[in-house]
Amino acid sequence: MIHHLSIAAHNPERVASVLAKLMGGTVMPDGGNFFACQLDEHGSAIQIYPAGTELQPGGDAGGRFVMKGAIGGFGPTHFALSVSTDADTVERIARAEGWECYRCGRGPFHVIEMWIENETMMEILPPQYAQEYLDFTRSQSLELAKHSVP
């Protein structure tokens, strides 16, 4: 189970506010970054750092964050987020932010692609889509595929 993940954004506070709205949660500031907290039993959260922040190894003291200057653009990082918000509301929130948003089929399940600041893809799973995703990931066909990997 992933309890939290981090992403970068040009406006971390604004992005955290939008994500908290989608999750029905709250925003918690943490220095120059922000946590969008879902307020669920798992402690689910998304931490948003300013664009250009790098996480670097810090030995026994733990990783450290270093600002390398604002960068942006598309990248491979994305995540799926289950929300209790319905699909129409998700699309309204995206439109209000000026973010690209699309209902997409992923074979056996659907997602709403919401592009944070039109750069980072997030797959939103309203309740019906979340159930499709869970049905697929818990299915016999996925179990068989898992065993076929060398």
Listed residue (59, 60, 54) closest to 8, CA to CA = 54
pLDDT digits (tens, 9 = 90+) for 23-56: 999 999 998 899 999 999 999 999 999 998 888 8
Q: What is the pLDDT of residues 109-141, one digit of tens each?
A: 999 999 999 999 999 999 999 999 999 988 766
Q: 150 pLDDT exceeds 60?
A: no
Contacts of 15 (CB under 8 A, 6+ apart): 7, 9, 34, 36, 48, 116, 117
Q: Where are the alpha helices (DSSP H) in the chain?
A: 12-23, 87-97, 127-137, 140-147
Q: Mapping DSSP to helix (H, G, I), strand (E, B) and coil, where does residue 78 land?
A: strand
Tell me the average pLDDT across 59-75.
79
Nearest to 19 by CA among 100, 107, 82, 88: 82
pLDDT at 143 over 70: no
Query: Residue 144: what pLDDT?
Result: 60
